[in-house]
Structure 1
Amino acid sequence: MLDAWLRLWNGDYTQAEAIISPDFTVHAALLDGGDGSTVRGADGLVAWISQTRAAFPDLHFSLQIDPLIAGHRASVRWTATGTYAGGFPGAKAQPGTTVTFTGTDTLRIKDGKFVEYWLNSDTLQLLTQLHAL
């Protein structure tokens, strides 16, 4: 499931319905000021990922360390690298700027699907590289 999760964030949406519960919810401080509560189910997650990837079409996520798994929860530490394509609100970086940032995903699993997601990403690192501060 975690391999499919990583592929999902890397732009392969084919397994989204198989790994994401219809009850899927997100807990995150989003760059638009939201708290993630509007991201629901596989369709909502794919839309959110697609929106992110629109600004960074070649965005690639890789794991920094092996996942931590305890009961019905899993946590992964990742690094994302991509090329800025433009269009990010407030960004003064030129399209073509390479960005790298890190984060941790914590996921709750129920009935073989991800039902809850907590995101902690280094948005300061990303916004600094985009000259958006």
Structure 2
Amino acid sequence: MVEASAATGQQDARELYRRWIDELWNGETEVVGELVADDFVGHWPDRTVHGPDELARIIGETHGMLDMLSFVVEVGPLVDGELVAGRWRGRGAQDGNPVTFIGNDLLRVADGRFAEYWVASLPLP
């Protein structure tokens, strides 16, 4: 039954990523402890984030910069062992002007939560 176990693990990782975008990145920061490990490390091009509390703070700051900010998954999630990848689109408004950006996530799962995160994103014209 190794195949069934692997399929279950992939499904769990897909659900974890769905919650990562649909809940956490859409502003429900109270779920952060359910989704990321206590020793979580997030790697952005310009900073490194440590732990669930700092991640929740960064997400809150992001929502504070844009009105009506929301994220949707466009591709994935793709699961390979402990790694999960996905592509998302974010939309919001700043000073009444629409803002759209896309990003690619790579996350490592450990013990049912995300332990490490790499992201690359850019605004769309």
* Alignment match, 1:117: 117
Paired amino acid for 1:2:
Y
* Alignment match, 1:106: 106
Deviation, 1:64, is 1.0
* Alignment match, 2:24: 8
Q: For the residues of structure 2 that align with 1:50 and 1:107, how far apart are their CA atoms?
A: 20
* Alignment match, 2:70: 60
In the alignment of these two chains, the number of paired residues is: 109
2:34 paired with 1:24: no
* Alignment match, 2:85: 75
Alignment RMSD: 1.3
Q: For the residues of structure 2 that align with 1:53 and 1:22, how far apart are their CA atoms?
A: 23
Identity %: 35
Would you identify which runs of 4 or more consecutive aligned residues in structure 1 move more than 3 Å?
A: none
Q: For the residues of structure 2 that align with 1:97 and 1:57, how far apart are their CA atoms?
A: 10
Q: Which runs of 5+ in 2 are unaligned?
A: 1-15
Q: For the residues of structure 1 that align with 2:67 and 2:97, how far apart are their CA atoms?
A: 12
* Alignment match, 2:96: 96
Deviation, 1:57, is 3.3
* Alignment match, 1:43: 53
Q: For the residues of structure 2 that align with 1:57 and 1:110, how far apart are their CA atoms?
A: 34
Deviation, 1:2, is 1.2
* Alignment match, 1:88: none
Q: For the residues of structure 1 that align with 2:117 and 2:76, how far apart are their CA atoms?
A: 18
* TM-score of the aligned structures, taking structure 1 as reference length: 0.77
Paired amino acid for 2:90:
A
For the residue of structure 2 that corresponds to 1:11, the secondary structure is coil
Structure with the higher fraction of residues in strand conformation = 2
Q: Deviations over 1:70-123 (max 9, x none)?
A: 000101100100011xxxxxxxxxx1111001010110000111010000101x
* TM-score of the aligned structures, taking structure 2 as reference length: 0.82
Q: Is the 8 A contact 2:40 2:115 kept in 1?
A: yes
